[in-house]
Amino acid sequence: MDVSKFPLEKVFHFVAGIIPGFVALLIYELASPGSFGWFFTLGFLGYRTKLSLIVLVAFVVGNSMTTFLGSCLGMLGAVVGTIAAQQPYKQPPSYETAPWRDPKWRTVLKSYLGPQAPNDTQLLSEKVIEQLTKAIDLRPSVERRAALAKLNFEVIDTKIDDGHWADWYDHYHEVIVLGHDKKELDWYVRTGLNVNLEAAAVYVLLSALVVPRVRHWWILFPACLWILILLAESYYAAKQFTNKWSTLSAQIRYLTAQEPLKSSPSGS
């Protein structure tokens, strides 16, 4: 079965939403004991109906919590991205070293793209251009103009090719960072559980500020642990996104596992 055809990420994300929902309901009961007593005394509702309503409420509350947490993290990411975008833009050829010039990465990308791959040229450094220019100056005057023009065209072509390789690298860098390459069932389950457990942990720590009955080590310790995991994941994601070298090996593995491309990807 090709699990990529089903929205498993959304399914597990929403189903696991009952976890922070139950936590919120339990903390509300701790803050105001007996708040749900009237509900359980309703005689016209069977225990199955009551249980279904509790699960439904926990589901709605929990998914609202995870959505709010995701929005907050998204806004934080947007702020970080805005700050990073204020840095002066550098053209790909201006980098002295770059991951898109790695020979192994280029080899696997060429195998994947086939004839659509950019020209595999090496960018001429300023030092090499200077040496070639000096060598041209030693030629007879009648040959210099043509040689300099040829060198200038070669420099421009290699810069264009380098930019094309950089575009492809950025494309697959985003694929790796955003997890588009992960289609295994266990990844969807793990992601859905982690997000909801982290949302529950945030709610527990915030509730501990106003609900004394929550301030027990056996409650706060796992909450703090999940908060640390959330901070570590956020830091790693930001670091990985800004550091282009971080996905070089992952891109090589990903491209090696792909079938050769028959048509150009949309937007490339």
In this structure, which amino acid lies at residue 245?
A: W
Cα dihedral angle (166, 170, 176, 179), rounded to 10 degrees? -160
Give the mean pLDDT per block of 10 residues along the chain (268 residues): 54 81 90 78 77 88 89 78 65 83 94 90 84 83 83 89 93 82 68 88 92 90 93 83 87 88 51
Return the pLDDT at 93: 78
> Which of helix, strand or coil describes residue 152?
helix
Q: Report yes or no: 71 and 77 within 8 Å, Cβ to Cβ.
A: no
Distance CA 20, CA 60 (A): 10
pLDDT of residue 24: 92
Angle, helices 126-137/141-177, rounded to nearest 10 degrees: 170
Phi then psi for residue 121, to 5 deg, are -105, 160
Q: Please tell me the predicted confidence (pLDDT) of residue 165.
A: 94
* CA distances from residue 148 to 122, 124, 138, 141, 145 in whole angstroms, order as listed: 19, 14, 12, 11, 5
Q: How much is the pTM?
A: 0.67
- Name the residue ranges covered by the structural domains of the chain: 1-89+185-235
What integer pLDDT is reported at residue 83 of this predicted model? 66
